[in-house]
Amino acid sequence: MAYERLDKVLGHLGVGSRKEIHRLARAGLITINGKIVADAGFKFDPSQAHIEVAGEPLVYQKFFYLLLNKPAGYITSTKDPSGTPITALLPEEFWRNDWMPVGRLDKDTEGLLLLTTDGELLHRLTHPRWKVTKRYYVELASPATPEDVAVFAAGTLELEGEPLQPAELYLGPDPRKVELVLREGRFHQVKRMFAARGNQVTYLKRLAFGPLQLPPNLPPGASRQLTPDEIKALYEVVGLPG
């Protein structure tokens, strides 16, 4: 049983600043299990309590999760002096100062980007040990070949002297438009893999991350919260209790 201060819990849930929460408490607008709590320092177990603020019930979450369809032109960072971090795309109701991007997409790369506040989940999703798949749509300057498919699958490519894990390359009707599945996420990996084969990536979009698929109805720049089933699937794929 974990007891936490009321102002900390409500701040975590995005109710407002500490000053605003103290004002709400003094005004008698916060109830816990039906009883008014005027002391913002009151300690309780938020996972076992029914909380209301100004008559509106709050659902307690320990961690938060967002799926973002990243457009080109934004860096995978929550802070950027140039003013183009991916958090600038989030609507006000999703603003938090503790978002962490799960893996990185280059500034010119588009597609699925997961944000979370759970550091252990992030670590496992991005660590090569867990071999979480990432699927990309890739457009190339030159046609990919069956030999590329074989080389990627064999795991014989190296980056900076370290061998890459085997990867699946899928050729479509147009071999300049392919899909690639990786189980690790090294710096500029997709571009460097094709460069090692004498080819150049001209467009890159992440379609899936582990069990998550990029929703076809989510426009570039838009985001949404994960569903309970999606959250459960993420934890299961890295062996964590959900």
Contact 208, 133 (CB under 8 A): yes
CA 78 → CA 93, 112, 199, distances in Å?
16, 16, 32
DSSP 58-92: E---SS-EEEEEEPTT-BS-S--TTS-BGGGGS-G
3-state secondary structure of 129: helix
Rg (CA), the chain: 22
Instruction: Give Cβ neighbours of residue 200 (< 8 Å, ≥ 6 apart).
Output: 140, 141, 142, 191, 194
- CA 203/CA 191 separation, integer angstroms: 10
Active-site residues, by number, are 106
Dihedral angle over CA of 220, 113, 94, 124, nearest 10: 170
- CA 178/CA 104 separation, integer angstroms: 21
Give Dmax over CA atoms of the chain in angstroms.
71
Instruction: Give Cβ neighbours of residue 115 (< 8 Å, ≥ 6 apart).
Output: 65, 66, 67, 68, 86, 99, 100, 101, 102, 223
